[in-house]
């Protein structure tokens, strides 16, 4: 019988001897590799924190003591030993275990995440609430070195240093964000764990072990400082010490002999402490060690080779967008591209290969990315930001205040617009249409297919002000890609078919199912007009009021939040133009947080499918005769 099969909670974990922990770690790695090879997931991050997670639950009294995981995508070991072992095979599946930490799922999940950089702030709040409520538990926040590129982490550290309550931040340093980590902080961390430094820092770790309460710590500090001033180097952890933290480390994150006693020790310290733990992303699975970037969030793969299980499919929206961008960048040297730690996901890694000096990965710093782009634009450049819809949420103010108010030509290539899939609630691109369409000066586009996308990329680069194009996760429809890129008339929709019974006004990923539904309805003798709106802003009021007033009922379709989204824009437009007495149904993401599952399954859930549109049309149909139609 495996050790893992006996672990239903950390109480069971604590029954194991320390010598059994490496075997358990091996079994857990095996389980994680097995499940992710079938369902995909955040493999490399998870393989890197197996020992750290076991050590934390071994030493601390969870769930009474609270572990807050930044981003929450590294919680697989945590899940396996906190009651979710038997359901773990449902990871990321519809209705199954989430790929992220989720309070709804377990009392061991203290704070939900999915976006990076929220951990320290969440930990500060949990510790402050504990003190206000007179409770006694420990608060441990685990953040990656990638999260240290996120401004929010410093806002949290700054506050923690000020409040000065007892709390432990564990810096899980694997030198990787999704890609290799970037920037000065990353270089700083690297300096603390390399060369001669590491030698005596390891010695320091031993001293911490042997440290005598109250005397050991000050002694260590003196030793540090003396050594450093002699060498003229920076103190390891000085940055964190200046922020009010006691810094301990770096320590080896895969060695229980170091992890367990040091965690026990730092858990007893008062005030804010930061423990620097060095881990290896992908440890235990050679393909993930070799390519931690692909295995950061991988699709299902063949275990024995590590090769992705892929059918041959049309090119992804991402690749079409970036190819078009590269083509335009060859002609215009003012075009530069910016990513916030998502070079691979947004396809901008290809741009980086083509134009290394015109590409910027600024780290998990969406706010900086947008203001940086705005300022480049203010000086005559043509910056393009490749960003997932969900992560653009973090930079809303910068879009308004720095880009739009100054009417600067920053072009947002918004990937993963609409329902994503297995990443679930925190990653759906539900809101971009709603939060961009009310900003003056902003152009908001969404293509019906990958061919239109490449033309929109070209179009966006011709606009002398803020512009965006949003496209879905996944592969295109398989349409032919035109060779020449031609700008689309700004603010003009496309009438795909005419018909006076019902008008389906669709946007982006809503267009293809609208066309299919219309074909089915037409085969039943119902006359259907279909509009590919293309633009949410400027809005094609002329076309849409015309088509709507010709029809007896209107259906709007979008792969975005209904509240304030494209359908709302249609309603506003019709009201503003006194097109009344038409039955209108809107299809899109309802006012709930949609969960995880295959993209098509989630679209079915929301009715953003040919079937869903057909059903709504049929519901409307019997009422046609009773409706007073404006014409």
Interface residues with ligand TPP (CB under 6 A) are 45, 71, 73-74, 115-117, 144-147, 172, 174, 176-178, 281, 340-342, 364, 366, 391, 394
Smallest separation, CB 147 to ligand TPP (Å): 4
For ligand TPP, which is the closer residue by CB, 118 or 609? 118
Tokens read off for 488? 């689309």
Distance, CA of 417 to CA of 321 (rounded, Å): 13
Distance, CA of 565 to CA of 561 (rounded, Å): 6
How big is the chain by its Cα radius of gyration, in Å?
27
Smallest separation, CB 249 to ligand TPP (Å): 16
Instruction: Report whether 50 contacts 108 (CB < 8 A).
Output: no
Distance, CA of 126 to CA of 116 (rounded, Å): 18
Distance, CA of 145 to CA of 117 (rounded, Å): 10
Closest CA to 509 of 566, 570, 590, 437: 566
Distance, CA of 411 to CA of 383 (rounded, Å): 6
Smallest separation, CB 403 to ligand TPP (Å): 18
- Catalytic annotation, residues: 281, 366, 394
For ligand TPP, which is the closer residue by CB, 144 or 417? 144
Smallest separation, CB 44 to ligand TPP (Å): 7
The CA-atom distances, in angstroms, between 532 and each of 325, 353, 498 are 23, 35, 12
Smallest separation, CB 246 to ligand TPP (Å): 22
For ligand TPP, which is the closer residue by CB, 282 or 612? 282
Smallest separation, CB 533 to ligand TPP (Å): 29
Instruction: Report whether 316 contacts 342 (CB < 8 A).
Output: no
For ligand TPP, which is the closer residue by CB, 144 or 156? 144
Tokens read off for 248? 């301990």
Helix (H) or strand (E) run with residue 583 in it: strand 583-589
Distance, CA of 99 to CA of 79 (rounded, Å): 10
Tokens read off for 231? 């060498």
For ligand TPP, which is the closer residue by CB, 179 or 273? 179
Instruction: Report whether 379 contacts 336 (CB < 8 A).
Output: no
Instruction: Report whether 351 contacts 335 (CB < 8 A).
Output: no
Distance, CA of 167 to CA of 246 (rounded, Å): 10
Closest CA to 480 of 450, 509, 459: 450
Count, residues in the chain? 631
The b-or-e profile of 508-538 (16+ CB within 10 A means b, else e) is bbbbbbbbbbbebbeeeebbbbbbbbbbbbe
For ligand TPP, which is the closer residue by CB, 127 or 176? 176
For ligand TPP, which is the closer residue by CB, 170 or 602? 170
Smallest separation, CB 469 to ligand TPP (Å): 20
For ligand TPP, which is the closer residue by CB, 114 or 588? 114
Closest CA to 75 of 40, 112, 126: 112
Smallest separation, CB 519 to ligand TPP (Å): 39
Alpha helix segments (H runs only) across 269-342: 286-290, 317-331
Beta bridge partners of residue 272, listed in sequence order: 167
Strands 411-415 and 382-388 turn out to be parallel
Smallest separation, CB 172 to ligand TPP (Å): 6
E strands, 89-153, in order: 139-144
Q: 345: helix, coil or strand?
A: helix
- Identify the DSSP state of 475: B
Q: What burial class does residue 440 get, using C-beta atoms within 10 Å of its C-beta: 0-12 exposed, 13-18 middle, 19+ buried?
A: exposed
Smallest separation, CB 60 to ligand TPP (Å): 20
Distance, CA of 341 to CA of 149 (rounded, Å): 9
Q: In sequence order, what are the residues at sequence separation of 6 or more whose Cβ sits closer than 8 angstroms to the Cβ of residue 127?
A: 139, 160, 163, 165, 166, 167
Angle in degrees, CA 200, 197, 170, rounded to 5: 85
Smallest separation, CB 305 to ligand TPP (Å): 24
């Amino acid at each position: 019988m495996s050790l893992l099969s006996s672990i239903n909670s950390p109480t069971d974990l604590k029954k194991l001897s320390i010598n059994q922990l490496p075997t358990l770690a091996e079994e857990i790695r095996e389980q994680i590799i097995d499940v992710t090879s079938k369902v995909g997931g955040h493999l490399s991050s998870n393989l890197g924190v197996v020992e750290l997670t076991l050590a934390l639950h071994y030493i601390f009294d969870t769930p009474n003591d609270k572990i807050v995981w930044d981003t929450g995508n590294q919680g697989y070991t945590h899940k396996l030993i906190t009651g979710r072992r038997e359901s773990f095979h449902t990871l990321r599946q519809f209705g199954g275990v989430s790929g992220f930490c989720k309070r709804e799922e377990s009392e061991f999940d203290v704070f939900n995440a999915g976006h990076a950089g929220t951990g320290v702030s969440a930990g500060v709040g949990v510790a402050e609430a504990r003190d206000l409520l007179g409770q006694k538990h420990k608060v441990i926040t685990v953040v990656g070195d990638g999260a240290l590129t996120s401004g929010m982490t410093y806002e949290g550290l700054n506050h923690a240093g000020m409040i000065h309550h007892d709390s432990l931040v564990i810096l899980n340093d694997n030198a990787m964000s999704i890609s290799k980590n970037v920037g000065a902080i990353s270089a700083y961390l690297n300096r603390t764990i390399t060369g001669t430094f590491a030698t005596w820092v390891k010695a320091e770790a031993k001293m911490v072990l042997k440290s005598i309460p109250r005397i050991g710590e000050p002694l260590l500090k003196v030793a540090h400082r003396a050594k450093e001033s002699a060498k003229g180097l920076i103190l390891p952890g000085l940055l964190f010490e200046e922020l009010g933290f006691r810094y301990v480390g770096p320590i080896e994150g895969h060695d229980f002999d170091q992890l367990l006693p040091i965690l026990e020790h730092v858990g007893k310290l008062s005030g804010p402490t930061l423990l620097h733990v060095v881990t290896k992303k992908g440890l235990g699975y050679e393909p993930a060690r070799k390519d931690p970037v692909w295995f950061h969030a991988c699709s299902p793969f063949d275990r024995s080779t590590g090769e992705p299980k892929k059918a041959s499919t049309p090119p992804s929206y991402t690749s079409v967008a970036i190819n078009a961008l590269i083509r335009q960048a060859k002609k215009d040297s003012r075009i530069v591209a910016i990513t916030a730690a998502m070079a691979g996901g947004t396809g901008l890694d290809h741009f980086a290969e083509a134009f290394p000096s015109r590409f910027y990965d600024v780290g998990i710093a969406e706010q900086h990315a947008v203001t940086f782009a705005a300022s480049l634009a203010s000086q005559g450049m043509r910056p393009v930001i490749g960003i997932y819809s969900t992560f653009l949420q973090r930079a809303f103010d910068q879009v308004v205040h720095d880009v739009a108010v100054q009417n600067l030509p920053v072009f947002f290539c918004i990937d993963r617009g609409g329902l994503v899939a297995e990443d679930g609630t925190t990653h759906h691109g539900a809101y971009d249409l709603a939060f961009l369409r009310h900003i003056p000066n902003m152009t908001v586009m969404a293509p019906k297919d990958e061919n239109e996308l490449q033309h929109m990329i070209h179009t966006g680069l011709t606009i002398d002000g803020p512009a965006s194009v949003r496209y879905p996760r996944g592969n295109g429809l398989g349409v032919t890609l035109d060779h020449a890129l031609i700008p689309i008339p700004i603010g003009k929709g496309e009438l795909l078919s005419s018909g006076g019974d019902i008008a389906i006004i669709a946007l982006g990923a809503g267009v293809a199912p609208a066309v299919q539904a219309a074909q089915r309805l037409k085969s039943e003798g119902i006359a259907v007009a279909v509009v590919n709106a293309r633009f949410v802003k400027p809005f094609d009021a002329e076309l849409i009021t015309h088509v709507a007033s010709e029809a007896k009922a209107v259906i709007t379709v979008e792969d975005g939040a209904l509240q304030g989204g494209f359908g709302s824009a249609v309603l506003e437009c019709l009201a503003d133009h006194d097109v009344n007495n038409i039955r209108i149904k809107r299809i899109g993401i309802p006012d709930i947080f949609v969960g995880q599952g295959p993209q098509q399954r989630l679209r079915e859930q929301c009715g953003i499918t040919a079937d869903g549109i057909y059903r709504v049309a049929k519901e409307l149909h019997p009422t046609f005769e009773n409706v007073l139609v404006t014409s």
